[in-house]
Chains A and B, each alone.
Chain A
């Protein structure tokens, strides 16, 4: 019964999807991992990114990835405002745990309903010359609608990784959750650092959204499926470690692809959630995390 063709195609397809998953989880790795802000609305921002991509693509014929990039500054500013609001309402009062969580839950729900109100529950899709083409390498398929998101997603993740480890602001973002006082002594304002970090996190959602709608049609409630996935990746990757998140994303992509190929796609959503569940219960610091 073992089929090498099926096996290798499952691995490749899983890796390709995993690269895209990394793009979705990247923003949460920053907000949740570095800033300790539990933004469960992050996947909803990704869906929002898909819809702005859709609008630009359908109305102006812009390439989906270009459309996502056009919206990066807008999403960056949106993220900064979101942090300011979050700080003023919850963090300053020390209320972030329960109320902050409920706030993002309400935000997720509200954005989803707004998208349904404006665009309905129909699936939306974009058009680009590479969607629908497939490259073949031996008997292994590289569908471009998966390969392009993989390349862009992985590149973005590596870019953010380099930014966080090489630049002053990047290091400040990594430091802000570890030692706030030391950061202040280094002459950086923690509030402003966090504000930029949240801006970057939400900006990655714009690109991830454009990748999502290249990968397949999008509808407003899809974001919910990604909540468990992205949290699984961030926790599994060891809170705030971008490289760990990338590895975890590739891993989850491959496992999901295997489950979908050999057990049926209807079981795939349970994979990441089950994995998250087990990680949280047995090894909360993740695979690569500091104990």
Chain B
């Protein structure tokens, strides 16, 4: 408790103040995109970073979340919170299935099969006529935006709440006993199993959590862009961001993806406005490759290395050289 929740409350209040004080909708559109990246990065990291199972199918979970939301909106006209919960549940089940997949598929085979899963899902949704199929579906923005000035401000706050929930859960996972088990699986699954770590149960927990938050990140998406088609929902860019953000921030701690998402997200929003959206994609790719090759620990790893070096040089100022 304590500092984290104080900080979370502070962020939430700041968000509320922001919606009250700022009128320009552009900031909320940008904020929404950054928060969407943050949620997906955090979700990806629970399975990819903590547990060591690389998932290339993030966009698949995201898109299923978005389409569940479209389908339920068309069929029952449920309000947004229910859509988010339903998407979270469906994608959580998908995540659970992915978790069982890890029984047979390790390492690269798991990664490739998640890539395959995303394409299969895309094909299924392209052929699902009820939600628009290949030609896409239009969603009318609801008139009622509670006490916010516009609907995008409401969506922004919704994403902020999901983001806080996702980060809080990731933090809880990584600091608890479960998190230690996940780290053990990442480092050596066989050894962990031999030491009595319940590997299957932990992998299922982490895969399900990944699915839940990916789905929740996708559920408000149709209302945000008002027109969804398979191309926009399954965009490679969304999948790349979900992987690039944790890798740039640092995958071993819960705040790594948050740092990566904020830095990369802000950079993207700024380059999209000032230069061009294609160049912004190029920057993501180059920065991602740069970090993977030069600083595999991400920003968090860089900072840790730096402070460790300083400590060492302080501890032995007269000895000189190493140790």
Contacts and interface: CB of A to CB of B under 8 A. Distances in A.
Contacts of B240: 105-106, 109
Interface in B86-129: 101, 104-105, 107-109, 111-113, 115-117, 119-120, 122-124, 126-127
Interface in B273-294: 278-279, 281-282, 284-286, 288-289, 292-293
Nearest to A93: B296
Given A102-B243, A105-B240, A117-B278, A281 B113 contact: yes
Nearest to B294: A89
Interface in B290-305: 292-293, 296
B52 interface: yes
Question: Size range of the interface on A?
Answer: 35 or more
A103 B123 contact: no
A152 interface: no
B296 to A, nearest CB: 5
A258 interface: no
Contacts of B112: 38, 40, 231, 276, 280
Given A101-B111, A106-B285, A117-B282, A281 B104 contact: yes
A98 B52 contact: yes
B115 A277 contact: no
Given A101-B111, A273-B116, A276-B113, A284 B104 contact: yes
Contact of B288 (A102, A225, A280): A102
Interface stretch (A63-71, A140-148, A264-272): A264-272
Question: Size range of the interface on B?
Answer: 35 or more
B244 interface: yes
For the complex, would chain B's binding face be called helix, strand, loop or mixed by DSSP majority?
Answer: helix
A268 to B, nearest CB: 8
Contacts of A277: 113, 116-117, 120
B247 interface: yes
A128 interface: no
Contact of A110 (B56, B122, B126, B286): B286
Nearest to B127: A266
Contacts of B134: 266
B236 interface: yes
Nearest to A114: B282
Nearest to B278: A117
12 contacts: A38-B108, A98-B52, A105-B56, A106-B244, A109-B285, A110-B288, A112-B236, A116-B281, A117-B278, A231-B116, A277-B117, A281-B101
Given A110-B285, A266-B123, A284-B104, 4 more contacts: A227-B115, A276-B116, A280-B104, A284-B109
Interface of B: 52, 54, 56, 101, 104-105, 107-109, 111-113, 115-117, 119-120, 122-124, 126-127, 134, 236, 240, 243-244, 247, 278-279, 281-282, 284-286, 288-289, 292-293, 296
Interface of A: 38, 40, 85, 89-90, 95, 97-99, 101-103, 105-107, 109-110, 112-114, 116-117, 221, 224-225, 227-228, 231-232, 266-267, 269-270, 273-274, 276-277, 280-281, 284
